[in-house]
Structure 1
């Protein structure tokens, strides 16, 4: 065989291997989706989906009505056992996905985006039926296909998955998904509002207040954010005072343990706070405190 024929043979083999890899990868994704959700890709669940143009172009999340909005934000409503156990199999590695997509053509990326939109539509229908775990799995499958450069689409997918996880009471993971949605779209009010509410429920009051402040910058008339801006500062101050009292109690116990061998206790000392700086000074009380 002449060198040109050998080179052509290698090229054919390389192309064939690449095609087989892509086919196997696509088949593996489809099999995972079917195993996890019990649905075939391209098959709609029980209810009819909206038109493909509406699902692709409309920048909305999966919540179907105002009532479900409140439930998704507060975690009230039906849950799958109320478990707080997090799943580790829904992690999305954006960097690895970005590296893989460097080998894809624009046509292939658009095809993957369309497939992700189809999965999102199925996830939306499952969410409306109360199938929150299957819904979250569909959004995960869509995120693994949707090209990383499509920020608007990925932001919605993360926000939708956060809504499903909130229903399942997977709140720490829901917060993470809200954060990813905001990274893809910093002005996504619904994701900010959901994360702010979840932060408050998790007693992360400072983080919650910061999110509500950001919401007011984007939407000065937002009633929920205005109410939170009035509600949270007193709660934060109360928490800080409680933490300070607990800390002082622990310091007193530690001080007594250290001073006891010397026949002393913290009662032999007085602590004064400087009103201008808030710092404390400790002074020995001679002949007293016993």
Structure 2
């Protein structure tokens, strides 16, 4: 079986166009409540901690995966996968002999090849089922083989535009094999499709550390920092504009606006002072 392992994971990535983001339902809230909600939402997405490439920190981006509505992701079509947890698999293995574990490994290898053929024949749903079946018998000690199964299943999920589920599978593959370049590249592409640019850049950087000859990783490290900075500047501008709008709304009953207040920075201390000008409107 060793001779087949070198090629059976080498099928081309199935990268479709990212699914459009679902439109948020409109409400009949008063204008000032809508504005406040908009400010809170934008502020929650904004991260101003610069990293090595001038990019914002990825903590805020990671929350997107946990908190945002995933109705635009087709993961529900194929989830749950029905695989055993690592603990369940290890408990099951306690009842098996060395010979039975070896037989399971051999069967898992055959199922992997079957899943690959289904993938190549444009049957991703069936490929996912077969990869899962292989994961449920592939011995827990065979980390690299299990990583390949997770990574291949991620590719099948990508064909179904189930990007969030595919990211999860790539992550499990990377946890099993931290230097698995294919899984890192696949997850980086998924992050980028999901507009999680900070996390995508982190994966591309990791790929470059492992294999400096990867052209995608080199190109991404040139391209993504500028996109991240552009996004952050846009978010800051939008947030400040929203805050100005809120300030004008609060000050309007007093015959004032934010134009009546000017902020000046002390060049020595860096602190700000606010000056009031009655004549501005």
TM-score, normalised by the number of residues in structure 1: 0.69
Q: Distance in 1 between matches of 2:165 and 2:79?
A: 10
Report deviation, 1:246: 1.3
Distance 1:287 1:188, change over 3 A: same
1:222 matched to 2:171: no
- Deviating beyond 4 angstroms after TM superposition, the runs of 4 or more aligned structure 1 residues are 272-277
Moved more, 265-274 or 251-260: 265-274
Structural mapping, 1:59-74, within 5 Å: 59-64=6-11, 68-69=12-13, 72=14, 74=15
**How many residue pairs align between the two structures?**
224
One of 3, 6, 16 as aligned partner of 1:75: 16
Larger relative contact order (CA 8 Å, sep ≥ 6): 2
Per-residue deviation at 1:223? 1.2
Residue 247 (1) aligns with residue 239 (2)? yes
Alignment of 1:90-109 (within 5 A): 90=81, 92=83, 93-109=85-101
Residue 173 in structure 1 maps to residue 183 in structure 2 = no
Q: Are 2:76 and 1:84 equivalent residues in the alignment?
A: no
**SS of 1:270 mapped into structure 2:** strand
1:53 to 1:188, Cα distance in 2 relative to 1, 3 A = closer
The 5-angstrom pairing of residues 1-290 of structure 1 reads 52-55=1-4, 58-64=5-11, 68-69=12-13, 72=14, 74-75=15-16, 84-86=73-75, 87-90=78-81, 92=83, 93-271=85-263, 281=272, 283-290=274-281
Structure 2 CA distance for aligned equivalents of residues 274 and 202 of structure 1: 41
Bigger radius of gyration: 1
TM-score (norm 2): 0.71
Structure 1: which 5+ runs fail to align? 1-51, 77-82
Q: Which residue of 2 aligns with 1:12?
A: none
Q: Which moved more, 1:220-229 or 1:99-108?
A: 99-108
Cα RMSD, aligned residues only: 2.6
Structure 2 unaligned residues grouped into runs of 5+: 18-71
Q: 1:173 to 1:265 in 2, by over 3 A?
A: same
